[in-house]
Structure 1
Amino acid sequence: MKQLALPLLIFCTSFLFSQSKIDSLQKALDEASQDSVKVKLLHQLYFQYENKEPKKARNMALEALRISSELPIVKLRSASYAIYGDYLYTQSSFDSSIVMYKTARNLAKEIDWIQGEMDALFGLGNVYYRKGNFEEAKKTHEQKLKMAEELGDRESVAGSYNSLGLICSEQGEMTQAMEYFIASSKIYKEVGHLRNYSITLMSIGMAHRQLGNYDKSKWYYLQSDSISTLLKNDLGRAYVYHNLAIINKNTGELDEATLYNDKALVLFTKLGDRKKVGELHYNQGSIFLEKKAFKKAVDAYQKSLGVSVVTNDSMMIAFSNCAIGQSYMLSNDFKNAIEYLKSAVEISERIGLFPIEMDAYEYLSETYGKTGDFEQAYQSRTKYSILKDSLFTREKRELANEIEARYQNEEKTKEIALLESQKKLQALQLTQRVNERNAIVAFTIILLLLAGLLYNQYRIKQKTYKELRELDELKSNFFANISHEFRTPLTLIKGPIEQLEQNPGAGLGMESIKMIRRNTNKVLQLVNQLLDLSKIDKGKLELEQTEGDVFKCLRGAASSFSSHAAQRGIDYKIQIPREFLWASFDRDKLEKIVYNLLGNAFKFSDDESIISFVSSYTDGELRILVSDTGRGIPEDKIPFIFDRFYQVYQGATREYEGSGIGLSLSKELVALMDGTITASSEVNKGTIFTIALPIQKIRPGNLKDKSTRTNNQLDQKKKPYEFQTKAVETSPKILLVEDNPDMSYFIKEHLQGIYRIKEAKNGKIGLAQATKYAPDLIITDVMMPEMDGVELCHRLKSNFDTSHIPLIMLTAKAGIENKIEGLEIGADDYLTKPFDPKELLARVKNLIGQRIKLRERFAQTASRIHPKEIATSSLDQAFLEDLLQLLEQEYSNSSFGAPEMQATLGLSKTQLHRKLKALTGESPGELLRNFRIKRAAQLLRQKADTVTQIAYAVGFNNLSYFAKCFKELYGVSPSNY
């Protein structure tokens, strides 16, 4: 059983805790007046607290990050991100740690700070290693190694060698790993870095342990332990005890192994290293396995697996699953064995952990053989053999010993080189064989190169195809979104104009005029944004600076949102200094930036939330901060929000309208002013945008702002428009489901005089109101928040209580496939924006009229009911067919009434009454009575019997009541009929 390699990547940052040093640093921090000095002191305090008090270390890292983010010193910001990444790494928050390291590296690259970039790459490589992503870890450490070599930083070179050696050992490349370890130890010994030298000695001991050279492995571990004892390094001693426990277990000294394992467990528990605690549980399980105590082994391995899952340690999860599977196999629990071994294969294959994958296949082969599944046993054995041949050859141990011999004795190295030279001389005598071999090798290399080139071309084509497909999808989404953005305001402009054209004398109301202006401005804003982006792409957009009061400009732009905030009950706070900031600036572009950011804040915030606009001016820099308590942006989406046409929240519901160009344009405009814009956000807590613009004040700010408007005046609530209800209570009821207030007003304005209107601002509310109020018709938009129109239509048509209600869908999507989609799920009609209000009125009238005619036809006195002639596929037709079939069966039963009808159909009294009134215009009792009367009339026409006998035959016991009901329906008595 191959064991877990020693993860030593964060080990070299361990320092002795010095309370006196912490006190002096804290005192210096309290007395520091400059923010840059505070950040440096916070960095030093973080390293002092790192291994002893994690909570204080976290506070230091966060405070440093907060202060440095407000400073123009990029180097301090990069270092702060890297340090916070270190803290997240120690807490096993790997994904968040990766984000911090990448940010630190990008900031370092901006200012060509090579050391900062190297530090970020080192941390990034360590995270990838701990996650089991060895290929990405190797690539990252190789980048750092190259930079360290160019810089001439020998210690960084040595650290990269050690990291690469660990990665190679995990992938089974032991020869390459040994070379890296020995190169690293030589450098550390030469520069006198004892702590890191002891680490590389442990790495060499680990490599020998994996190769089975246990005596040499013990020697290197004891050498490392002596240095750790000298340095009073508990962490180093803990690692040594851990590995000595593994070696003693492998050599059969199980009691000695348990002793060392317990010592290591005590130290790692004290140090709070959960991952190592999990590994030690794993080791104890291996010891129990050697003793054939399989149940105890499974318990220990399960503890290891539990810790590994909590710490997200992919590598240890694979090892634990394989070990549990082996234990179950040895205890003849083959079902559990196969389950855990398959999990080990899946995880190992995903992260490239080939040694454990090989072991899992070996155990699977043996398990399948014991269960009699020889085909699976053969397949598993074949995969095991392939992996074994590729990973473990005899050359590895011989080459490792050869490299170690060169390291320990330079004279022996010369002798080996001499022997190699003699071998080469002897080989020259076999010219023919060498030529043949070289020809084969050359031919093989050519084939490999050709295969590599073909594969590379294939990958390039696939990548190009993927990029083109993504670009095409991005363009399609953009045009769909921009189409929706244009169609809705154009509908709201076009409708009132057509109304005025048809009735010039009627004029337009103030609300209609304001609606036209709002939507005209919206279209103009969209066009201007597209034109600005076009100018930016062509490099023709330039600043048009004029002198003026910057703060006054900001107050005007920010206060334009006050009435909107008042209408929605939003706590809108504006904090702008009440003084002059006279400068030369581009007023139009600054206002566009403010409008875009505040527009986004209001768009993504719920009613009665909080939005803040804060501005300040310090040391030649104008800072603007826009914050909200809205929905927030997921952490993985933040790097893309300034990309052109990118939208965080997309989909059919279109919960938030937009074209995806506002933030991109804002960033371009800020960059044009030589400023910066950054964003930070937390899901469901809000978003903060920060802008920094260099502005040179050209007049002292000694004048007071003469503006006398108060926030209360700016925040006066707009009185909502109230409709005059003209429709009577008997008019048909229409449910209007529309999220755009202007569109809702526009439609309601044309319908309210004829019909009773009920409104809902999204599909979710509309579904509830349709069930509650049972309207005669529903009009719904397609793209809405919470629930879109397509989902609403599907739910209404599949719900028995609402399936009979006709539905008209409105949308800005004009494609035929969109219409087909709506009609296929049951929509009765489909209108594309912009539409003529007359057309909408005509379609509403027709649909309601059709339903009325259907009920009248059903209730005609001369109609004859033939249920078998009803061809049905819809929910309503199926219901009617069941109902009429029931009436056919029970009409002659005088005790059968409305209650029995409800019980048989499984409906409540309200459901049955509402459904029958909607479909037939009759209540359940009326429908049953008229059915019997019509059947009696049919029998009377056929002269089947006397009036008395026919009355009894159709379920009437009272002859006078039968005659009364018959005359009400047909106008004559039964005998005269």
Structure 2
Amino acid sequence: MEKVYFYRIVVALMILTLLGCGFNKSDLVGIKGVAPLSKKEYDSLREIIFFSLEPERASKVMFRLSKEAKLVTDEHELIKRYRLMVWYYLMSSDFEKGDVILDKLQKYYSDYNRWSDYVSISKVRAISYRGREKYDEIEKVLKEAIEISEEKDVHPYDLLPIHELSVFYSYDLGKHEEAVKYGDMFFEKLKQYDTITSPDKIRVLDSIKKQNLDVINLTLAKSYTQTNRLDKAYECLKYAEKGFGDIDDVEKIMRVYSNFIDYYLKKEDLDKVEAYKEKYLEYSKRNNDSLISSLRKMTETNLTLVTKEKDGVVVKEENKRKLLIIGSLGTFLLLVIIFQRYFLRLKYEKEKIRLELENEQDFKKFRASLFINIAHEIRTPLSLILGYIDLSADKSISGDELRKYLGEIRRKSNKVINNISDIIALLREDKKEENIRLENVIIEPFLQQLFFSFESIAKIKNIELNYSVELPVNFTLQTNLNKLESLVNNLVSNAIKFSQKNTKVTFIAFIEDDLFHIQVIDQGSGISEENQKNIFSKFYQEDKKGKSEGFGIGLAIVKDIVDNLKGTITVESKPNEGASFKVQFPIVNDEELLEDTEVVSKQLKNKSNVSTTYANTVSNKGSKVLIVEDNPYMVDYYEKILSPIYSCEFAFNGEEGLEKLGEKQFDLVVSDVMMPKMNGIEFRKEMKKFPENENIPFIMVTALGYEENKVEAFNIGVDDYVVKPFSKNELIARINCLLENKEKRESWMKQVKETEKEVETFEEKNLKRLQEIVLENIDKESFSVSLLAEEVNFSQRQLERIIKKLTGLTPVKFILEVRLQEAYKKIKNKEEADINNVRYSVGIKSASYFSVKFKQRFGISPSELLKAG
């Protein structure tokens, strides 16, 4: 009886709770009916899916369309929604779902004999295949669309597959004769359609021209250039330049100018190459600014979504709490039981929310760290791109040197693009298995050339390259050359990057047990046993002091390549004993290896003398500059632009930099921030512990341009702060300014000490008196050279001769020097409340004049010195 009575009370409580709280009607509201989509509404939804940078809006549109697709009864209205949905799937790279929708669309258009739409959607199918590099399928679907166009007379829609096929042959396959063939076909049909009179078809034709005419001209220009039909290429380029210029399509204009560069290289007109290179750079900067703005907007949107999710969790828990409180009022008999359950559950939910918030904070930190590291990885090659552009702008260089620099610009640009592509590929959780295209390659010459391409980089760190390969003569391996190249590049560049100076990197290749083996061995810092379990994970970085640039995708890419090629990879390493990466691939050649096949054995070392390194490149030219940088490509660039001007020495981390400073005196130090063992911030702090290093000017070079990073740098005594990417002239100008200020400061201090000697000459006494007079009148802006001359009973000419002889300065600059020295002392010692008070106290009323002269004199602005002090 007691049990039955208890259950009755519980049921009564639930009824009272529901009556007290009511229903949330918004939760029960669904889509009752589906209204037809007007053209205006269709275009609006298409705009959101195509161009919106807010994932939330696009997701809401897709949610609505998928719901309506389930409820709509009109097949024609369903097809409209499918057209929008397939674009969403393509934009989000969900090709599997996109294929399902495309199959339905093509069946519908075929069943209803809507061949114009069938041909139009074939172009969309080709774009879907391009995203997966299914080139055979692209060619098949486009040629099928052309055949249907001829049979069904769907003009002017037949222009679409012809246009797409021309672009496909030019950009995807590099078959430029085929590209020209279909491009000419496009224009021939376009002339035929000038006689169209139907308003609907005229509207379609105008739309096709608007979207495709400039693109086909750009495509033909590329193919004409490659096939040496330069007159036709020029006409197409000028047409495309005008078309894309009228709509200010920055990315397409960049492609036009890139093709102009190739065109004039073919014509060997280097002046025109220079002109279009400058135009390309101008639009490249605009494009970078646009990308950065888009990334910032996407980041802000993601942060908003995370905040909304957190608020949703809190609101949900509040609602639960109210339900429990109101329900508890339903019966006094179960009050104790209800509150006991309520508090236990509330405690559990609070703990759950706390854990969720902690996870969210960890995610935010990871995301912030990821974006910062991405900025590091991208800004370094951007710095090199701008640097090589500066070098190629020199009119005195030869054509071979220009082509070399342009090649470096192209390679570094491709590195930026590949880095972004690798990030996107690794971030995708729904990544499908790639369709790898294999080819037969005589592998040994390829491996040798690839390995020794790192020779110049290894030379910078005095690293010996050993190449040991034992393979059958002309051994052919069936593999994907691009994937294998990326794998070897990542393994060898990592080995060099993490190796110390005067060590060795070894590359081994051989065949054993029907497996092709590759092994890369270094003598670097090694990998701990614990970290070996994680090094192939996405974005994993070993927690080491100082850290180096990079965001942990190199070995993840290697693992992905090995998996796609059906191989295996292992690592053997101990801390401080180097690492050995071993890769094995199955040999899938049609012909089996014969046991008595002649084997060629190659054991090679660096072809050049590795004993000469940039670290030892010292000359007697100019001032002595120490450059601390761990990236070998940046070291190579620094050597090119700074060694002709200064006497440069190089160190690869903060610890090596301190050793160099202990061995000799330098006039200036340039240091990166992110470095292994000891980073730039730690390096500067350690420098300041030694009095002899206190007055050495210090320039910090970094990818972090945020205000808080600058403040931190100036607080530890950094004299200047250069943000990547930077130009050659900017860096040299900053170095010269600091060196000049250092020289003036030392000269002045020397003269001040000399004036303090017990035995002073008549002129030195006069100089001391002059300094005292200026200090007595320092707050008077009107105090001039003529007034100073009156005070000491000299003519202005005598005064100028004495000051010039003792200080090397004119009287005007001497008065300004005394004012600035006094201002520096007051700011450093915080003798005044703010900068304005200091400025007036030394007789300078113009804020801009004071700031400019102070920065020129001391290499730091007054406000930065005040913060640093």
Give the TM interval when normalised to the shorter protein: 0.3 to 0.5
| TM-score, normalization by structure 2 | 0.44
| TM-score, normalization by structure 1 | 0.39
Larger-gyration structure (1/2): 1
